[in-house]
């Protein structure tokens, strides 16, 4: 019995929008994101989608990318959409060849199927990773942006004063980020170094 998701009449070759989508995670689960590139029937790129998803699995990210593409197509009244993905699991689950056993993925699968049925025509195909380079790059850029803390949130290296006793003389310096920096030239061999924390103001 033919899957009703793919039972609609075929569209003319010049009526299909093409979407390359990809998702990934660094660790499984780990920081995750998706990316997608959508082209019109003439091969012109009309949209690039990407999003950081927080800590998720690779398959969750793949499905999130597919859902984002389908939502974009419906919002823009696209009648015919062909999706290309390098996730063999997702493609075969969408085609009904593989069961969806994961309780985390099933809601996304159901949402994607529901969205796809609202299009006039829908198709999804598998490609090797090399055929999805731009979408993969967008997914990685989303992960990069999501895992990079703003500069204002970066902790400042701790500062402590330091003194070194060399030949009876005291050489002033500082400790910053675990690195000892003396305010004078190099120390003699056998120099004794003592770290003295800066005094704190009591309020």
pLDDT for 203: 47
- Write out the two tokens for 172: 């002033």
pLDDT for 8: 53
pLDDT for 129: 81
Confidence of residue 152 (pLDDT cuts 50, 70, 90): very low
Residues 136 and 128: beta-carbon distance below 8 Å: no
SS3 76: coil
Q: Could you tell me which residue, 80 or 175, shows the higher pLDDT?
A: 80
pLDDT for 48: 98
**At residue 13, what are phi and psi to the nearest 5 degrees?**
-60, -30
pLDDT for 189: 56
Mean pLDDT over each residue of the chain, to the nearest integer: 82
Q: How crowded is the C-beta side of 130, counted as CA atoms within 13 Å?
A: 0
- Write out the two tokens for 82: 């062909």
pLDDT for 105: 98
163-181 mean pLDDT: 53
pLDDT for 14: 72
CA dist 166 and 192 (Å) reads 7
108-117 mean pLDDT: 98
* pLDDT for 112 beyond 70: yes
pTM, full prediction: 0.70
Alpha helices in 42-190, H assignment, sequence order:
58-75, 88-94, 106-117, 133-147
* pLDDT for 7 beyond 90: no
Q: Could you tell me which residue, 12 or 50, shows the higher pLDDT?
A: 50
What is the per-residue pLDDT across 37-91, written as a single tens digit (0 to 9) for each?
999 999 999 999 999 999 999 999 999 999 999 999 999 999 999 999 999 999 9
Q: What percent of the chain has pLDDT over 90?
A: 63
Q: Could you tell me which residue, 202 or 48, shows the higher pLDDT?
A: 48
* pLDDT for 190 beyond 60: no
Helical axes 58-75 vs 133-147, angle rounded to 10°: 110
């Amino acid at each position: 019995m033919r899957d009703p998701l793919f039972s609609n009449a075929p569209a003319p070759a010049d009526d299909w929008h093409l979407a390359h989508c990809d998702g990934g995670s660094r660790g499984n689960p780990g920081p995750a994101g998706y990316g997608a590139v959508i082209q019109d029937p003439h091969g012109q790129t009309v949209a690039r989608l990407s999003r950081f998803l927080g800590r998720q699995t690779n398959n969750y990210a793949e499905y999130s990318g597919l859902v984002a593409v389908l939502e974009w197509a419906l919002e823009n009244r696209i009648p015919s959409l062909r999706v290309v993905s390098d996730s063999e699991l997702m493609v075969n689950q969408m085609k009904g060849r593989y069961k969806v056993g994961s309780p985390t993925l099933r809601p996304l699968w159901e949402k994607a199927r529901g969205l796809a049925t609202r299009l006039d025509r829908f198709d999804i195909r598998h490609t090797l990773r090399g055929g999805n380079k731009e979408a993969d790059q967008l997914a990685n850029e989303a992960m990069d942006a999501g895992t990079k803390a703003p500069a204002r949130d970066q902790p400042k290296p701790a500062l402590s004063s330091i003194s070194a006793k060399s030949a009876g003389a005291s050489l002033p310096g500082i400790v910053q980020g675990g690195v000892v920096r003396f305010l004078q030239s190099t120390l003699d061999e056998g120099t004794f170094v003592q770290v003295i924390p800066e005094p704190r103001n009591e309020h």
